[in-house]
Amino acid sequence: MSLASPDWADGWYRPAERIDSPNFGPRPPDSVVSLVIIHSISLPPGVYGGDAIERLFTNRLDWTAHPYFEQIRGTEVSAHFVIRRDGSLVQFVSADDRAWHAGKSSWQGRDNCNDYSIGIELEGLEDHPFEAQQYRQLSTLLPAIARAYPIAQVVGHEHVAPGRKRDPGTAFEWDALAKNLGWPDRYFPAGKPPQAT
């Protein structure tokens, strides 16, 4: 559960557009939300705009609309937040609940990162630059999350699922994000993203 904060109501961040996803579940009893995982997503890959991400996260994607969609047919996934290329913010799952974003994952010896993390998707493609507006929104959202939840670290999907995932990728500007936030190094992954094995 979130701490008291005027920006939040039952895990929903008031400034975000709310679109409810059915793809979520309860967090385990006594779980503490201490991790934020940053992802990247575009559907089809490298195509921006449109409503395909929203449709995927709400189980309304037309699998026949693009050849790539056949590869992910039947997928039921979600994230708590999506930051679009223009910096606009959408929330799909209450941060009090467990979104389905990290899959098989582990961080610092703890498996099942979905249990104790908040997932943020940036509209983009691995290793392609993100927009300044996205960093600005992320630099607003992360402190808001930290005011409501005891966040200890912010990492990429590539850090919790090395060898399986590469997002947000090499173009993501971790140093710039840390500088924008003014948070100490302990909040961020050390060194470069892990290499695929």
Rounded to an integer, what distance in angstroms lies between the CA atom of residue 63 and that of residue 86?
26
Residues sharing a CB contact under 8 Å with residue 147, sequence separation 6 or more, in sequence order: 3, 5, 7
Which strand (E) or helix (H) includes residue 180? Answer: helix 174-181
Residue 30 Ramachandran class (φ > 0 left, ψ -120 to 50 alpha, else beta): left
* Amino acid, single-letter form, for residue 177: L
CB 125 within 8 A of CB 44: no
Catalytic residue chosen out of the listed positions 70, 76, 121, 123: 121
**70 tagged catalytic:** no
Tokens of 113: 């990162």
The residues carrying an active-site annotation are 121
